[in-house]
Structure formats: structure tokens, C-alpha cells
Amino acid sequence: MGLFDKFRKGLRKTRDEGMVKQINETIESHEKITDELFDELEEVLIMGDVGFPTAERVISDLKEKIANDNITSVAQVRETLKDIVAGVVWGGSYLALRTKPSIILVIGVNGVGKTTTIGKLAMRLKSMGRSVVLGAADTFRAGAIEQLQVWADRAGVPLVKHSEGADPAAVVYDTIQSGKAKNADVIIIDTAGRLHNKKNLMDELNKISRVIDRELPNASRETLLVLDATTGQNAVNQAKDFKEAAGITGIILTKLDGTARGGVVLAINNELDVPVKFVGVGEQIDDLQPFDAEAFASAMFDIKPTHDDDSTIADFINESVKTEEEPTEEDKK
């Protein structure tokens, strides 16, 4: 099943029950392109968890494109809107893992599917020939270590863990040492999504970062925030908090198949200027998909994409891999 088909299946509720259904009905209720049509479409977008700032931008871009392309047929508005959406949900699906080892920090509040996402990501990396070591640094949430152990066993990758309540930074240190000893390609760290307040979260992540900076000073690092698509605008608010506290490099949006709130992807991209790198569109192991703006927008509006989409993205990693300890050519000069 290709990426478009995966997204099409995962966005069924958004398309058939939510925002896109209302967009189609709004367009079909008008015979001409008028300001009233634009106003109604903007209202649909706002109600569809796109949010006011992003809805305003989409409609502004839509008006401009319709004027520039001399579009007069209402029937063309839908495909034009699809193109605008694809432009808003820009790409960035690859992981910048340029060193060996590289580090992925995964954060997110309880219940968003963080542990499952880590397991799926580890299995996907392993299937691509990358060796992976997991670190259970979410030592505060009851059951988090045991859940990650289940996924580590399922993926067939080693897990470094301490007892519940242990110092997360100590877990990170031991995980890095294990990754070095095993010559691992990627180290994935499960971190606490939220402690008692934002300051505690920031302090804990800063402590972890200092360990990484000391032990792997030149390592590539991704900090990925896992969000639950079913929470709509609450997910956007969470992302704003985490961006301020953790300097996130990408978003993983889970449970997209279980909600009609797929429009939240637009708000995340536009309001946070952070790429959505993966989306979860089902329960199967291969349902964690690298994000592609064109395939996503096409699937949302059920319009076949213009580019060839016979298969899913085979490789979502930046291929310029070098061993972390090795000096670069620039260093040698």
C-alpha cells in the first residue's frame, strides 16, 4: 500500500465526517466564487481545528491563487485549496542522523502513544539495517519502563533501564555507553513528557542534554514530540509549551486514523514552524509513516497526487552518516 493510500485510509474520518466533508458541502452550495464562499470556508477551517491564524493564511493564499490563475469555476476551488494545504504542511520528514551514533530524544505527555511510537520507530530503523539501542529515561511514569521493555523485545533491540524513580540523566549516560560499546547507529531515549511544571521539564531535559553534550559532543540529535491528533487544538498548545521548554526538531502525530481532526496538522506546521516528521495512521507496525505534504493533502481531499506514489518512502534518514568520534575533513584542515 502506497503512502497516498495509507494517508487516505488514515484520514477517512477527517474526509468523510469532519472538516473536508464540510468544505465539500460549502463549495457545492455555491454557484460562483464570492467573498461569501471564502468567509464560509474560513469558518469551516477554524471549526476544523485548523485555528484562526492558519485559517486566515489559507484563505488569503486561496484568494491570491484564484486571482493569479484567473480561476472562475467553483469546481476548481477544491483542488486549488488542496494545493494551498500542501504548501502549508511543508515537509521535513527525514531524520537528520548524520553521526554514528546519533541520538533521538522522544517526549510527550501520558497517553499520546509515546512508547508505542518509539517501538515502531525502532523496528522501522532496524528493518532498514540500522542498529538501535533504547534508553528508558521516563522513570517517573508508572509502568513506562515495563511497556518499553515489551516493545524492545518485540523489535529485538537492547534496552538500558534503571529502577522506577531513578535519575533519568543516569539512564541516558548508561544508554550512551551501551550504544558506544555496541557500535550502534541510533540511540533512542524515552524521556519524561511532563514533570510537575514547565520549569521541572526544562531542568530535566537540560540535565539530559548536558550528559549528551559531554559524552557525544558532535552527535546528531533529534528531539521529537509525540502528539495525539484526537486532542485537536490542545495538541497545538502542548506543542507550544514543549517547543519553548525543549527545542523540539520535529513532531510525531499519532492516532490520526481515530479522529476527524486532521486539520490540526496545518495548525502545527503554520503556528509552530516545526515539521511533522511522522504520522500514525493505524495500529499496525508499518502505520507509522514518514510525513509527505503532497500525499497528505491529496489524501485529505481524495485527489490522486501528481507525483509517483507506488510505494511508501523507503528511507527517511539523511544518508550523510559519519562516525561520531571521527574528525570531519574540516576538522583535519
Residues in binding site for GTP: 108-115, 190-194, 254-257
Q: Map residue 313 onto helix, strand or coil.
A: coil
**What is the amino acid identity at position 294?**
E
- CA-to-CA distance for 150 and 115, rounded, in angstroms? 10
Main-chain phi, psi angles of 322, to 5 degrees: -135, 155
- CA-CA distance, 1 to 326, in Å (whole number)? 40
Backbone angles phi, psi at 225, to 5 degrees: -100, 125
Residues present in the chain in total = 333
* Lateral strand order in the sheet of 159-160: 159-160, 132-137, 186-191, 102-107, 221-228, 250-254, 276-280, 288-290
Q: Which residue has the cell 454557484?
A: 31
CA distances from 23 to 34, 37, 42 (A): 15, 10, 9
Task: Phi first, then psi: give them for residue 110, nearest 5 degrees.
Answer: -60, 140
Pairing of strands 102-107, 221-228: parallel
Q: Are 237 and 261 in contact (CB under 8 A)?
A: no
> Reduced to 3 states, what is the DSSP secondary structure of residue 253?
strand
Using CA atoms, how far apart are residues 227 and 92, in angstroms rounded to an integer? 17
| CA dist., res. 47 & res. 43, Å (int) | 6
CA–CA dist 271, 264 (Å, integer): 10
Alpha-carbon distances of 69 from 66, 72, 76, 80, 320, rounded to whole Å: 5, 9, 11, 10, 40
Annotated binding site: 108-115, 190-194, 254-257
